[in-house]
Structure 1
Amino acid sequence: MNSVYDVQQLLKKFGIFVYMGERLLDLELMISEIKDLYYSSLINKDELHKALSILRNEILIENNRRKSGEEHGK
């Protein structure tokens, strides 16, 4: 697992499709779903940590993208 797409494919295996139309909300919902899968013993600890790392990193990237967009818009 190396990308958000890979995390989406993992969720898809369990019939979970996340698309709210807002990137940050999608990522946060994916984090919640990944945790639920782990607490239900459907994924292992390594999958949990890898998926959370990918999603949290993507949230940081998205927040930086938005911040620099706001600065350029001034």
Structure 2
Amino acid sequence: MKFGTFIYTTDRLGDLELMMMEINELYEWKFISSQQFQQAVLLIKKESREYKKGTKINE
């Protein structure tokens, strides 16, 4: 939300993957701190696990 861009599709896992790519870029470009990066990665991984568990998707 801090950077003002939101993209949503009907593919939740695809959205989470896109978020992870964006977070990686923000960290590489030093727009976010390592603490913000770590928190974001943990949240995205948690959301992914919960989604897969709720929809019975195994990878």
| TM-score between the two structures when normalised by the length of structure 2 | 0.86
| Structure 2 gaps, min length 5 | none
- 1:48 corresponds to 2:8: no
Does the 8 Å contact 1:18/1:30 carry over to 2?
no
Q: Distance in 2 between matches of 1:59 and 1:21?
A: 15
Misfit runs of 4+, over 2 Å:
none
Does the 8 Å contact 1:38/1:45 carry over to 2?
yes
Give per-residue Cα distances to partners, 1:9-60, cap 9 Å, x unaligned.
2xxx223212122111111100110110000000000000000000001000
Give the percent of matched residue pairs that are identical in Structure 1 and Structure 2. Answer: 35
Q: How many residues align?
A: 57
Q: Distance in 1 between matches of 2:46 and 2:12?
A: 13
Aligned residue runs from structure 1 range 54-65, under 5 A: 54-65=43-54
Paired AA for residue 26 in structure 1: D
- Bigger Rg, which one: 1
Paired AA for residue 62 in structure 1: Y
Paired AA for residue 54 in structure 2: R
Structure with greater helix percent:
1
| Structure 1 gaps, min length 5 | 1-8, 69-74
